[in-house]
Structure 1
């Protein structure tokens, strides 16, 4: 009888020992032990308190460290870092923030026992922390007030000269396009005319209609006391045709168009499209300024005429309802008591207002820097400047026409 095969007669194999694999019986790699969290311990050192940190101080333990620090009755005077086994930039920032907070309170916090790696990390984070900017000291007194006033006047004069330079640039590029008609961009002119003129008709017409209604209502309430209700027609006609029609139209257009010009040109400057235009040999003033300002020059007088018509219509309607002045009587009184010079005085202002709005909007767009904050600031500044300049120009026109007898 042959002997049994040892492989068949042997019993089940013994299980491998702990830490050994079943294939090659080599020790298995044990997973790394988790780093203990940052621990806090206070130990007295005379009259002071030293805070000992041990374990790991990373982004996961920063919140725990700050919470435990807030629960301490007395803030530590020193922190012992000799027990730290690991620290990252978040932990270093927490320690340095605590150090800065104590320095702001007039005390010092010492970081002791740090290893060479921890010291190097703390130095890197300390250099990267932003330094708090101290607000500029505002000097008082007559000399400081005169200096601020002088600087404001000088800045205003420089701003006016800059606007005058942009106006001259527009005139130069307009003259060039007249000498070289092929360089004129008719498509851009039509598009901008539609945007600044045609799309503004509803709001301008509604505004002028309501202004006429208000003038008729308020005028009738006052003139009825003297039995002079019929003179409300003269009040509406002179106010709308001479002043309010074109002035309020220019204010609305300034709010719409100056902001649109600034936003469009400023966005192109932020995306470096204007630099690309110069690289391609295109003049930004010819391509961007001339069509926009010329569209305003053409459309603002038309909008002024629409505002005049709608203002008279609103005044006539309210006069009919409130005073019983029929439309035929209103028309008769309007033609007899209103001279055509009032219409001329109102419409003469329109090109000047258009130039002011267009130049201010294009100038503000070119002042935009490479960030959205600058775009928003310059857009708001363009609207405010355009409206203020329009009102000042209207006041100067009123003084001028009063002096010449118109």
Structure 2
């Protein structure tokens, strides 16, 4: 014998005085077009409203949620809303639904509170980032100390490979940029000196500016964008493909294999690149001095040792050792922070370049203050 499906009575709601009368089956199947009915319903004007459920035949979670939402909408207008004449089971369901909605609703707050919350979260993330970075620096320091005590543990093949990729292949771009920088400094500064007939002082301007500050700084920035990003991309890709985990499984320290050779290679390469950049920058300055300022090559070379004491050059070269450590550690650290896929690799590469350049500039500012205090 075929059983007939249970007849479903469509839910409805009407306004009687200041009471909202609910009828029918307030279930998922019976709600029907109730949303349209509610949107067209004229709401009570009094401050206290009653939702009467005496005529409700059946009530499930969907109907209870709709009733609770109606109650919340009326409450936002300042009305006091009460449920009346519901069966005990229905009243219990309404209470549970109301409690659940209140737990899930995020109470809107004023803009100042949201702004302070955003600032707090960003500060906390920055503190966590600094903590993890310092922990990484500590691990690298320990590994570097062990490598210096036991040089045979250093992977020299990786050092020479990195030295070629980070140093030799960077010569063209570093030389070109330094040559152009020498031209710019000599031309812009020389035009002002020419007004006062002090053309020869262009040697002082170009020599001190390039050897002490600009050549080390520009070389470090170019290496950070070129080699630091490559370190982050290489290690980040190995993280994505689980090669780092494979190295740990084989008992090989990723720091010994990937980080220490890069630091050693860059500490060697960056001072050499800076010395090369000094030469190219001076050549650019000499060219403009000859063509635009009537200062011959011989006069430029003769005055250079007098105008630029050797300690300016040594200070510039010495700073690059610190810059090299910063660039290598930041690039490797951001590579190890890669999580997910290719998008994460690109993001960490960008972060590595930005952070490395920022820290290099920060270190340059600290050096400037310290040397000013010392008097050199």
How does the TM-score come out when normalised to structure 1?
Answer: 0.65
Give the match for residue 164 of structure 1: 134
Give the match for residue 404 of structure 1: 374
- The one-character-per-residue Cα deviations of 1:68-104 (angstroms, maximum 9, x if unpaired) are xxxxxxxxxxxxxxxxxxxxxxxxxxxxxxx9xx99x
Partners of 1:318 and 1:156 in 2: CA distance: 47
Partners of 1:205 and 1:396 in 2: CA distance: 27
Q: Is 2:199 aligned against 1:232?
A: no
Quote the offset at 1:308 in angstroms. 0.8
Give the match for residue 153 of structure 2: 183
Quote the offset at 1:150 in angstroms. 3.4
User: How many pairs were matched up?
Assistant: 276
The Cα RMSD (Å) is: 2.2
- The one-character-per-residue Cα deviations of 1:230-280 (angstroms, maximum 9, x if unpaired) are 111100001101110000000000000111001100111111111111111
Larger helix percent: 2
Q: Is 2:186 aligned against 1:216?
A: yes
Q: Is 2:346 aligned against 1:376?
A: yes
Quote the offset at 1:368 in angstroms. 0.7
Quote the offset at 1:333 in angstroms. 1.5
Select which of 322, 333, 345 maps to 1:363.
333
The 3 A distance-change label for structure 1 pair 360 and 212 is same
Give the match for residue 206 of structure 1: 176
Kindly indicate whether the alpha-carbon contact (under 8 Å) linking 1:163 and 1:359 is maintained by their aligned counterparts in 2.
no
The 3 A distance-change label for structure 1 pair 272 and 217 is same
Q: Is 2:122 aligned against 1:152?
A: yes
Partners of 1:359 and 1:159 in 2: CA distance: 14
Partners of 2:269 and 2:280 in 1: CA distance: 17
Quote the offset at 1:138 in angstroms. 9.0
Give the match for residue 277 of structure 1: 247
Give the match for residue 349 of structure 1: 319
> Rg bigger for which structure?
1
Partners of 1:139 and 1:173 in 2: CA distance: 49
Give the match for residue 276 of structure 2: 306
How does the TM-score come out when normalised to structure 2?
Answer: 0.70
Quote the offset at 1:155 in angstroms. 2.4
Kindly indicate whether the alpha-carbon contact (under 8 Å) linking 1:215 and 1:236 is maintained by their aligned counterparts in 2.
yes
The 3 A distance-change label for structure 1 pair 185 and 248 is same
Partners of 1:210 and 1:185 in 2: CA distance: 37
1:214 match: secondary structure: helix
Structure 1: gaps spanning 5 or more residues: 1-98, 108-135
Quote the offset at 1:141 in angstroms. 4.0
Of stretches 338-347 and 235-244 in structure 1, the one that deviates more from structure 2 is 338-347
- The one-character-per-residue Cα deviations of 1:290-320 (angstroms, maximum 9, x if unpaired) are 0011111111111111111111111011100
